[in-house]
Amino acid sequence: MTEQILILDFGAQYTQIIARRVRECKVYSTIVRFDLPAEEIAALKPKGLILSGGPASVYSPKAPLPDRAIFDLGVPILGICYGAQLMAHLLGGKVARGAKREFGKGTLLVIDASSPLFANLPDSLQVWNSHGDKLVAPPDGFKAAATSDNTEFAAIEDRDRKFFGLQFHPEVVHTPQGREIISNFVHGVCGCGKDWTMRHYIDQSVEGIKREVGRERVILGLSGGVDSSVAAALLHKAIGDQLTCIFVNNGLLRGREPQVVREVFGRHFRIKLQYEDASALFLRRLKGVIDPERKRKIIGKTFIQVFQAATKRAGAAKFLAQGTLYPDVIESVPIAGNPAALIKSHHNVGGLPKNMKFKLIEPLRCLFKDEVRLLGLELGLPNEIVMRQPFPGPGLAVRILGEVTPKRCEILRAADAIVVEEMKASGWYYRIWQSFAVLLPVRSVGVMGDERTYDFTVAIRAVESQDGMTADWVKLPYDLLERLSRRITNEVKGVNRVCFDISSKPPATIEWE
């Protein structure tokens, strides 16, 4: 059984980051609800527990509380922020209601150099605070390990029981040495090894997939995106020809997409690939449609029909594989003030009809996106696929405003290819969330040589984002923008004007639709 650290989620915005930081220490971590019974926790045999932060006050009548028996399991516990206050409160310490939130950078002074959490760290550290209540007296058995300008008890510990509490957030980047603190907890205190690597994951999950699938067949809808591509490579490693991938060309793909997918998966990996060219059907149904919601509906419905027909042609299969990731699986804690609870995956188009009689297999469901990328590289997928930016399911249809016609698709493909090429050549492509071209249904007057033109406008969008929920526009250098504009107007017939989108999300969205 893989060693693991369990993170009890009290509704913090940063819970997933804690889980990722632990995994970056090569230790597996999972997020569970704050009130998971201690018996169930014990059954998972964790090497340590982390109590996350959260928006509540320990004094609130609605404060989320853990099963108190977790403190009797004999397992090391690290409380972060609300988690630390909770631990202090439940074990007999004193937490004072804060008059105002302490928020932002602070300096931590380690007062006991022998504290295991601060091993190999300097006595003074920059840390990030974000809390309302304040710890004023630690419970019996605890003492202060570090102080800050604001509190004598910025870090507390009971070394005998291996309980630790931090008032600040070690998981965020604004606590530059937070990784070392987390590493000290998981390795130094909990005694975890460094087993969680993608190489190890491949061995484990290949075994697991083989066991689960047996001699049955598996179908996977391959989109060419990172998740389905990595899922395909992993499944193929486990079950070879028992896997059939279905790739649907909806006529709304980028320039070389169908070729790249066929080259990589068909020729290089020798994965059984069923290529369904339904582009004519999609474009026929989109003819004359302008409303963005209608476009999406038509594309979604047509995809399901095409995919369903394709699975019939692929022959009997028991399993349908999906590239679901861990963030889609984690149940967000419905605590007032928890922004994560409000975020819905509004673009989850993976909804295949319930009447498809498959068993689901989701080989990436415990991985974060950055781990999926590492896994892809480890499986030998090329950078071009593993590091690619997100591309929406409805494809170019959300980037062609107004009617989607074959001619407009062709124009946008040509402009988009230039954007991708120049972004890659300048190194910007891999640094940001997304960069692409949008075709606007506006014509304006221009001049080319001696001739007057009346052509379309292309907008360039480049955004920085963590998860697509909010985004900032990227300040691309002028010379790059200049090159993009010059190449697009020179090389793409039908475009005489290029604009750069300087809106963030909110209030704009990333795609224009």
Alpha helices (H) along 167-213: 178-183, 198-213
Q: Phi then psi for 411, rounded to 5 degrees?
A: -60, -45
Cα gap 135→442, rounded to integer Å: 60
Cα gap 75→21, rounded to integer Å: 20
Among 283, 349, 480, 499, binds ligand XMP (CB under 6 A): 349
**Residue pair 489/496 in contact by the 8 Å Cβ criterion:** yes
Among 116, 141, 390, 446, binds ligand XMP (CB under 6 A): 390
Helix 279-286 to helix 292-314 angle, to the nearest 10 degrees? Answer: 150
Two structure tokens written together for 98: 């804060």
By three-state DSSP, how is residue 109 classified?
Answer: strand
In the complex, the smallest distance separating the C-beta of residue 70 from ligand XMP, rounded to whole angstroms, is: 38
Stretch that binds ligand XMP, among 105-113, 126-134, 388-396, 483-491 (CB under 6 A): 388-396
* Nearest residue to 276 (alpha-carbon basis) of 300, 253, 310, 245: 310
In the complex, the smallest distance separating the C-beta of residue 506 from ligand XMP, rounded to whole angstroms, is: 9
In the complex, the smallest distance separating the C-beta of residue 398 from ligand XMP, rounded to whole angstroms, is: 6
Among 130, 393, 397, 417, binds ligand XMP (CB under 6 A): 393
Catalytic residue selected from 171, 371, 422, 511:
171
CA atoms within 13 A on the CB side of 74: 2
Two structure tokens written together for 485: 């504009």
Catalytic, 331? Answer no
Closer to ligand XMP by Cβ: residue 161 or 347: 347
Whether the CA torsion 363, 368, 372, 378 is positive or negative: it is negative
Q: From residue 167 to residue 206, what is the string marking binding to ligand XMP with x (rule CB under 6 A)?
A: ----------------------------------------
Burial class (CB in 10 A: 0-12, 13-18, 19+), 153: buried
Burial class (CB in 10 A: 0-12, 13-18, 19+), 501: middle
Which one-letter DSSP state was computed for residue 490? H
Residues numbered 399-438 forming contacts with ligand XMP, rule: CB under 6 A: 434
Q: From residue 137 to residue 166, what is the string marking binding to ligand XMP with x (rule CB under 6 A)?
A: ------------------------------
Q: Is 509 in the site for ligand XMP (CB under 6 A)?
A: yes
Among 157, 158, 227, 511, binds ligand XMP (CB under 6 A): 511
Q: Is 323 in the site for ligand XMP (CB under 6 A)?
A: no
In the complex, the smallest distance separating the C-beta of residue 393 from ligand XMP, rounded to whole angstroms, is: 4
Closer to ligand XMP by Cβ: residue 449 or 506: 506
Whether residue 506 has a cis bond before it, omega within 30° of 0: yes
| 303 Rama class: left (phi>0) / alpha (psi -120 to 50) / beta | alpha
Q: Is 352 in the site for ligand XMP (CB under 6 A)?
A: no
CA atoms within 13 A on the CB side of 478: 0
Two structure tokens written together for 482: 């200049």
Stretch that binds ligand XMP, among 261-269, 284-292, 389-397, 423-431 (CB under 6 A): 389-397
Two structure tokens written together for 131: 């809390």
Stretch that binds ligand XMP, among 86-94, 116-124, 385-393, 444-452 (CB under 6 A): 385-393
* Nearest residue to 50 (alpha-carbon basis) of 147, 230, 184, 218: 184
Cα gap 30→4, rounded to integer Å: 7
Residue 170: CB atoms within 10 Å: 28
Closer to ligand XMP by Cβ: residue 11 or 394: 394
Stretch that binds ligand XMP, among 206-214, 330-338, 391-399, 491-499 (CB under 6 A): 391-399
Residues numbered 215-274 forming contacts with ligand XMP, rule: CB under 6 A: none
In the complex, the smallest distance separating the C-beta of residue 369 from ligand XMP, rounded to whole angstroms, is: 12
Closer to ligand XMP by Cβ: residue 347 or 487: 347
Catalytic, 40? Answer no
Residues numbered 456-485 forming contacts with ligand XMP, rule: CB under 6 A: 468
Please give the size of the binding site for ligand XMP, defined by CB under 6 A: 13
Closer to ligand XMP by Cβ: residue 150 or 470: 470
Catalytic residue selected from 25, 81, 192, 245:
81
**Residue pair 31/7 in contact by the 8 Å Cβ criterion:** yes
Catalytic residue selected from 89, 169, 187, 236:
169
Closer to ligand XMP by Cβ: residue 20 or 505: 505
CA 108 to the chain's CA centroid? 31
**Residue pair 504/472 in contact by the 8 Å Cβ criterion:** yes
Among 82, 228, 392, 412, binds ligand XMP (CB under 6 A): 392
* Nearest residue to 282 (alpha-carbon basis) of 400, 388, 437: 400
Helix 406-425 to helix 478-491 angle, to the nearest 10 degrees? Answer: 150
Q: Phi then psi for 512, rounded to 5 degrees?
A: -90, -40
Stretch that binds ligand XMP, among 53-61, 104-112, 370-378, 503-511 (CB under 6 A): 503-511
In the complex, the smallest distance separating the C-beta of residue 197 from ligand XMP, rounded to whole angstroms, is: 29
Closer to ligand XMP by Cβ: residue 271 or 463: 463
Q: Is 304 in the site for ligand XMP (CB under 6 A)?
A: no
Catalytic, 362? Answer no
Catalytic residues: 81, 169, 171
Q: Footprint of ligand XMP on this chain (CB under 6 A)?
A: 347, 349, 390, 392-394, 398, 434, 468, 505, 509-511
